[in-house]
Amino acid sequence: MNPQRGGYGRWRALWLLSVLLLVLAARAEDAKPLRFEQEGATARFAAVLSAVQASPAPALIGIDAWNAWVEQHRPGIEQSATHAEFARRLNELFHATGQSHFEYETDEEFGYWHLLSAFYRTPDTHVEHVGLFPQQIDGRWYVRGILEGSSAEKLDLRVGDELVSVNGQAYSPVKAFAGLSGRQVPLVVRRAPGSEHTITVAPVRESLADAVDRAMDRSVAFIPHQGGFFAYAHIWMMLGDGREYQELLAIQDKVDGLILDFRDGVGGTPMHGRQFLLGKDEGNSPPDGRGGSESRSTLDGSESRSTPSGSESRSTLGGSQGRSTLKTWTKPVVILIADGTRSAKELLVHDAREAGRAVLVGTPTPGHVTAVGGMPRIGADAVLILPGFRFALEGKPTQPDVLVERDLRHAAGRDPQLDRAVEVLGQLVRQRKGPTGP
């Protein structure tokens, strides 16, 4: 054997291997999801249409009608200069069809991070935040909700505060806190027109779904009322194992009734809620709660809530209290509803009212009752929510039994819907107890 020939052969094999690795690396780089700025509006729209065509959406809308809507909106969508403009024009197309659960969310929107973290639960869905659910009204940002247990709840922030700026930059739901995790930064809010003050906040980087899970645990509270107590829980989403319901069952004998707040967050599945309110066992009972006791002084930043023992701790399932053997709530219930009460929440509140198990207080739900048919990620910076199959309630808003409007702007923590819910629940409790005297 010629040693020089053998050496050349090894060198040539290594060279070919190196070329192959470079080609594979280049292809992998090409296959990496692109951001909108790299891809452009025309290519991004083509990717969206491909995902839509592979879903039930065209059949739900009507194929001819869908194609007509696409061609009507195509010029404006493909001429979009920014991702924000593209998203706005694309969502105009989706909304024009009248089909719910048909939405394009970008990574500059709070909803993108909440949805991704709720359904994917991967490290790349973590985002910096302080525990606020924002809402834009007439071009201005306001606090719509405050996650219980978050840094925002511990500060002088209230629902209805206008969000002006963060660290000297105009407020935006995601960009405002990007890269600021672990730092103390100034947040300027406007509680009333012309009145601004600065609050120091400390953003954290985490999964919003984890933050919401924690908030539901810590939202369980006691509301004093005429010598007794009502229980309160904020059901931000219905994608967990139902521990929040088990926690409420554990304190049922300490209260006269219950207020469930379904006004914000995302849907999920009504399974555990059906068992809790209607006694319909559609799955395994949830496991024990996390146990322990957490301090909680306020419900919405404006009114103190205390426990029957006089302390400000929340009762939990587990620890020294043990596990409740109850599966269904049997005392009076009032449910708070609004335009944020969607999907599985709408199914549950409708069924609870029809079964005579709850009185609904607030404003009408949106009638968005179609199952999610998919949630593909589009490029590196967007997610597409696709409709699956329709329930009978699709397009039929659930009306409240007691209509109470709520103007969020500069509300300073005032919540007329919750106040009215307390009054209604008091009436239900008195009716249940019957006459107590002459």
CATH number for the domain that contains residue 157: 2.30.42.10
Token readout for 351 is 């069924």
Give the burial string for 358-392 (b: 16+ CB within 10 Å, else e).
bbbbbbbbbebbbbbbbbbbbbebbbbbbbeebbe
68 domain residue, yes or no: yes
93 domain residue, yes or no: yes
Q: Are residues 329 and 222 both part of a single domain?
A: yes
Q: Are residues 83 and 145 both part of a single domain?
A: no
Q: What is the pLDDT of residue 123?
A: 84
Q: Tokens 């280049």: give the residue.
A: 26
What is d(CA 220, CA 139) in angstroms, rounded to the nearest whole number? 33
Q: Are residues 214 and 173 both part of a single domain?
A: no
CB atoms within 10 A of CB 21: 10
Query: For the residues of 149-215, what is the DSSP string, one character each?
Result: TSHHHHTT--TT-EEEEETTEE--TTGGGTT-TT--EEEEEEEETTEEEEEEE--EEE-HHHHHHHH
187 domain residue, yes or no: yes
Task: Please say whether the beta carbons of 63 and 358 come within 8 A.
Answer: no
Q: What is the pLDDT of residue 10?
A: 52
CB atoms within 10 A of CB 181: 15
DSSP state letter for 300: S
Q: Are residues 150 and 284 both part of a single domain?
A: no
Q: Are residues 343 and 226 both part of a single domain?
A: yes
Overall number of domains in the chain:
3
Digit-by-digit pLDDT tens for the chain (438 residues) are 444 445 545 544 544 454 454 444 444 445 689 999 999 999 999 999 999 999 999 999 999 999 999 999 999 999 999 999 999 999 999 999 999 999 999 999 988 998 888 888 788 899 999 999 999 999 999 999 999 999 899 888 999 999 999 999 999 999 999 999 999 999 999 999 989 999 999 999 999 989 999 999 899 999 999 989 999 999 999 887 888 899 999 999 999 999 999 999 888 889 899 999 999 765 443 333 333 333 322 223 333 333 333 333 333 333 333 444 448 999 999 999 999 999 999 999 999 999 999 999 999 999 999 999 999 999 999 999 999 989 999 999 999 999 999 999 999 999 999 999 999 999 999 998 876 544
66 domain residue, yes or no: yes
- Residue ending a domain, among 79, 99, 119, is 99
Q: Are residues 402 and 273 both part of a single domain?
A: yes
109 domain residue, yes or no: no
Instruction: Choose among 253, 402, 430: nearest CA to 335.
Output: 402
Q: Are residues 429 and 296 both part of a single domain?
A: yes
Instruction: Choose among 145, 274, 277, 317: nearest CA to 215.
Output: 145
Q: Write out pLDDT tens, residues 41-54.
A: 999 999 999 999 99
Partner residues linked to 142 by β-bridges: 135, 162
What is d(CA 383, CA 381) in angstroms, rounded to the nearest whole number? 7
Q: Are residues 189 and 225 both part of a single domain?
A: no
Instruction: Choose among 212, 206, 243, 207: nearest CA to 148.
Output: 212
CATH number at residue 270: 3.90.226.10
What is d(CA 419, CA 409) in angstroms, rounded to the nearest whole number? 18
Q: Are residues 242 and 306 both part of a single domain?
A: yes
Q: What is the pLDDT of residue 6?
A: 52
- Residue ending a domain, among 144, 177, 205, is 205
Question: CA–CA distance from 243 to each of 140, 255, 281, 292, 294 (Å)?
Answer: 36, 18, 15, 14, 16
Task: Please say whether the beta carbons of 357 and 260 come within 8 A.
Answer: no
Range of the domain at 88: 36-99
Q: Are residues 229 and 148 both part of a single domain?
A: no
Which distant-in-sequence residues (6+ apart) come within 8 Å of 241 by Cβ?
272, 286, 287
- Residue ending a domain, among 181, 205, 229, is 205
Instruction: Choose among 417, 430, 410, 133: nearest CA to 261.
Output: 417
Q: Are residues 151 and 275 both part of a single domain?
A: no
Q: What is the 3-state secondary structure (H, E, C) of 257-268?
A: EEEEECCCCCCE
Question: CA–CA distance from 106 to each of 93, 146, 204, 296 (Å)?
Answer: 16, 22, 20, 34
Q: What is the pLDDT of residue 31?
A: 66
- Residue 380 CA, chain-centre distance (Å), reads 21
349 domain residue, yes or no: yes
70 domain residue, yes or no: yes
12 domain residue, yes or no: no
**What is the reported pTM?**
0.81
Instruction: Choose among 117, 287, 147: nearest CA to 217.
Output: 147
What is d(CA 170, CA 136) in angstroms, rounded to the nearest whole number? 13
Instruction: Choose among 413, 218, 421: nearest CA to 303.
Output: 413
DSSP state letter for 61: H
Task: Please say whether the beta carbons of 371 and 381 come within 8 A.
Answer: no
Q: Are residues 161 and 186 both part of a single domain?
A: yes
